[in-house]
Structure 1
Amino acid sequence: MKYTLSFLLFLLAAATVTVPAAGQHADARIGALLNSGDYFTLREVLPRQADSIVSPVVRGMAETLVGTFFNRPADALAAVSELLETYGDELGPDNATSMVFMALLDLFMLDRYTAAAELTDDFIADTDGSLPDELLFSLEFFRRTGHALAGRPAPELVMPEGGTCVSYRLDSVGRGRIMTVPVHIGGNVRDFVFDTGAAQFNFVSERFARENGIRMIADSIPVAGIGRGWVGLGVADSLAVGGIVMRNPVFLISPPDQATDTIEVISAVLGNAFMRKAERFTIDNRTRHIVFPAERTLHADGTERMANMMLNSFQPYVRIHADGIPLLFHFDTGNVATTLYPPYYELFREQVDSCGVEDTVRIGGFAGVAENVCYRLPSVEFTLEGVPFTLRDIDVLPSGSAGATAGSEAGSLGTDFATAFDTLTVDYTSCTVRGENVP
């Protein structure tokens, strides 16, 4: 499901960290990682360097980004709160704006909606209308959603002892397949798309909400996808996936969209908040089941694996390798097939131009459809943590394509990635994705 709630990658690309001329080695090292956007290395280096960092701004920004991007929202919120309250004047306007958005993400990940609404109100008032329109649009999401959910019971996931296993189904949609799971809601059993790319909340149509006991509590919630639009906000008493019960789930409720509905008719999407609260799951493609919770993704000696997944705007991004080069991809099982974006095209232009067949592709997402020229490759080889896998019949979007990406990721990994291995384990605790094939 292609929709986003903020523009953090854009903000962080625009912001820079200034290290004093007399700064120590640790400050320079951490500042360089912040400015380059190498957050995986930052996560590994920061614990060893933290005590040597002189600048509280450099340390605070590093701790905020690592905590937010690698699913430690409580730690991130503590760091960013101190940063904004004590060192706000030293941050500069771009960095301060980025840190406010980080705080809002952390508050939403912790289901602290009242605090998020108050922070947004204060920040908008302080900026006195000086922010760009796209940032104000994102802030309005946090403000309106925060106020609507303030004082309501927070979503809660109840996992049965011993975990649970749920079957999934693959249905052909367009050029690929969509993964759905049965969900109990409102006294009914309905198919929901199992969508790692659905940011934070679940996503349903107006008709689905009416028919399945989802209560609308707010309208005019701004959401951006292919275009911009407005959705409703709804709540239900519970939903259940297998033996897992999610109490007080939250839904974005989409009005009918004639343009998008001609691409794919999807009435219900299970969002990333469910998966993140479940902490770990394994997609077993041999039996077509999803197992909750999965076993921890540890090395054979019991030590934690290095992170290869990060969260931005609540959504997972996975680092995989192409021809030995590490690349960041949006991990979106709501995408029926993997799509490679302009950064990939620019990196492998010669190969794509020589092997790809020119075609057109329509990208459907919230509030619109984008049609682009693409190059279709018969197959592309990748590795995930040293495990090779092949994706077939892949579209590559050249530079200038509409609706491709809001950041610098190399593409969107779809259902074909999720089913490319015998098992794929996603661990939100350690921020790792591991694919395995049985010999």
Structure 2
Amino acid sequence: MRARKLSLSCEILCEGGKMGSLRAILSNPDDLYPLLKLKMAARHAEKQIPPEPHWGFCYTMLHRVSRSFALVIQQLDTDLRDAVCIFYLVLRALDTVEDDTSIATEVKVPILMDFYRYIYDRDWHFSCGTKDYKVLMDEFHHVSTAFLELGRSYQEAIEDITMRMGAGMAKFICKEVETVGDYDEYCYYVAGLVGLGLSKLFHASGKEDLASDALSNSMGLFLQKTNIIRDYLEDINEIPKSRMFWPCQIWSKYVNKLEDLKYEENSVKAVQCLNDMVTNALMHAEDCLKYMSELRDPAIFRFCAIPQIMAIGTLALCYNNVQVFRGVVKMRRGLTARVIHGTKTMSDVYGAFYDFSRMLKSKVDGTDHNSRETKGRLEAILRMCRDSGTLSERKSYIIRTEPKYNSTLIIIIFIILAILIADLSSTRPNNMCKFLKKIE
């Protein structure tokens, strides 16, 4: 499992160059304000690093290995925020061991199996990984020290999930993903268990009832399968050796070898296989909607809802899109910012799922082998959204409208706001927040 696959990334702050960003804003001027809000929220989150050395290390490392995740958890209350931060870093470390192909199997498997014990050891560390992940592993004692300061119910939840995930990872070190059953099992170990663990942490905080394992598992699998689909090209080209998780039971219907999907002469078969994979992922969407509809705490709700909307949006973009096998397919960062800025209630979630599902359905070709099943799953999602009775309140994330302003005016506004941000954020950070609230 790639570390990036623990959660669907919203890496909008470092995507693309300045000219590409400007062109995107000129085409979608309504993206400008959400982008500014998100930029300031990221800066604010980075300023909230705790003073204690071990907690300072943990939150600094969180920003380094996943800026988007750090931004989302910043909204949680302090005790739950700390627990989720440590949970995430523990799983990142576990994931780093699994991913490092330089570690011999006979060394790696025992570490994965015993990792849940190491989180209690302030002196344990293991050198592996690269860049920030190597720093995390070399200085893991900071994570263990912070873990030991969490409440016992949080510790037990993190220990339990780490133990089960490590055992599952160890199992798949020597096992290929052959069947759809293998695929679901692997995704359960590396992502479904994350969903179960978060549900346990939410419950331990006293803010939520304990969600069922089935619904929690679906929350993880929906994100994991979306990332596995989206990251095909990056994963298949990985050096020195790729680790792929598209099940043979699906791809073997279209090509002889999984890598054949990336070759232009197999484009038609590749897209058919891609659509098969997307259809498989859609089976979890209804469970995700049910899980989110039962959440009570606004901060926990946003924490859960934003990645799920990103997942359905990413599936809508990937479906029937040969570019998955040519490069990177992701939502434009302005649209991502609008999702993050505009997701506050369950009606927002129903609206986004409804719009993205309609977008996906419009791309279904009746000649595709799985078109009937794909449409059936999309209809079930659309029906659930309609039955909520909230669609009249929805915000449309994907329906394009003509720009309300001419290009020259937009450029002038962009420059003025950029100057304001540079001035206010560098010398008076609180003033920037006040400014954005005034124009909201």
TM-score (norm 2): 0.30
User: Which structure dedicates a bigger proportion of its chain to helix?
Assistant: 2
User: Which structure dedicates a bigger proportion of its chain to strand?
Assistant: 1
TM-score (norm 1): 0.30
